[in-house]
Amino acid sequence: MAGLFKEEISNQWYAVSESPATWFWKKARNLPVKHNAFWTKMNAMRSLGLVEYVSGKRFHIAWLIYDGHPACVRPSQTLRDLAAQLGCTSPDDWKLVTPASIEPLKAVEHLKFTAIPRMVRGRIDERSKTPIPVPTGCEDIQQFMKILTDCMAETEFTGCASPVFQARFIGAREFGGRVYAQGADNYQNGISKAERRKITINGEPVAEIDLAGSYLSIALALLNAAPPEGDPYELPGLSPTYRDAIKHWFILFWQKGKAPRTWPRETPQAIKAMIKPKDIKGPAFERYPALKDVTSILPDFLRDKLDPNMLEWAVGQYLTGVEAKIMRTAMRRFIEEGGGVALPMHDGLIVPQSWSRGASGVVSDACITHLGREIRVEVKE
């Protein structure tokens, strides 16, 4: 059915070989369904009047290859009417995905730690990001991941695979810590934003709750600087048309722990043609002067553990750690006090729409707990 409707709800014919010996069903094509399974289901749909069918023609072509014309199938009017009745009228409704595993992770796999990487000639050595045992002192995070996993097992989802989670850290519990959903079609990055809006939790539509300008707001709080007002990416002397470039500049700033000098190769060409990074640096520091010494957000006990060359690298990892800590606190309170489930989205949560206002308050309270101030929360339904 996904194949029949993959383009649009129409009466278009689709060709498919009936003989398992043809190129169509070759193993190397890695089709999502095999010959016998396909035709068994297709014949059942024909019997139900859901599919129209025209037989193929079998004959020998040159070099005595047994091939011929394939059969043709298309959705019947009955099936198209049924799809319309059930609201399945968009190609996204018929997207074919590989299901994610729904086997619960073992307790030791709830957390994954890798070593703090080495810097070699000014670049991170990717080979040094080797797995390490979970350090002592992470029992509270282990407990949280178990509570989250147990809660997911009792919740009914549609529109995405049942979530299986793992929190990932780098070297210490203060670096990293985001909760990642596993599987090819996970709701975080395995489906589109449009598909994510169609998720239901226990039969209810969802809303997304995000921290506005998450890293920027957290960094300014840690630096005891004033929070951003209005659009956080509106900089003095720069046109609002540069907003995408400014936002991209800040992403690179958190990754590097310092102002980028050039646009990386993977930066979209439209941004490269818009403005140079050096032309954003001055206005950015003019509006946010505290960011000139952004490495000062790192606590002394972490600075003492790091190679001095890694302090700038640690900025983004530490901000991720604080953000993740806020989200863990909010999710745990939401589960224990609100009696509901929240799906983590790194800088936000996905919750049932009826709980969005209460969840927004829970996230704000978690910010106060860890930062001593609120961060503006945006709700998208």
DSSP 8-state secondary structure symbol assigned to residue 375: -
Q: Which of 381, 380, 340 is nearest to 362 (CA)?
A: 340
Domains recognised in the chain with CATH numbers: 14-94 (no CATH), 107-217+303-380 (3.30.70.2440)
Q: pTM to 2 decimals?
A: 0.73
Q: Is 290 exposed, middle or buried (0-12, 13-18, 19+ CB in 10 A)?
A: middle
248 vs 267: CA distance, rounded Å: 8
- The DSSP annotation for 214-268 comes to HHHHHHHHHTTPPPP-S-TT--TTS-GGGHHHHHHHHHHHHHHTS--SS--TTS-
pLDDT for 334: 87
97-156 pLDDT, tens digit per residue, is 544 444 444 444 889 999 999 888 778 888 888 999 999 999 999 999 999 988 888 888
User: How many Cα atoms sit within 13 Å of 149 on the Cβ side?
Assistant: 23
- The DSSP annotation for 279-312 comes to HHHHHHHHH-GGGGGGGGGS-HHHHTTS-GGGHH
153-170 pLDDT, tens digit per residue, is 888 888 887 788 899 999
The pLDDT profile of the chain, 381 residues, written as one tens digit per residue, is 666 665 555 567 888 888 887 778 888 877 777 888 888 888 998 999 988 888 877 654 444 444 567 888 888 888 888 888 877 776 666 665 544 444 444 444 889 999 999 888 778 888 888 999 999 999 999 999 999 988 888 888 888 877 888 999 999 999 999 999 876 667 888 777 888 888 889 889 999 999 999 999 999 999 999 998 889 999 999 999 999 999 999 999 999 999 999 999 889 999 999 999 999 999 999 999 999 999 999 999 999 989 898 999 999 999 999 999 999 999 999 888 766 788 999 899 999 998 888 888 999 999 999 999 999 999 887
Whether 221 and 204 have beta carbons less than 8 Å apart is answered as: no
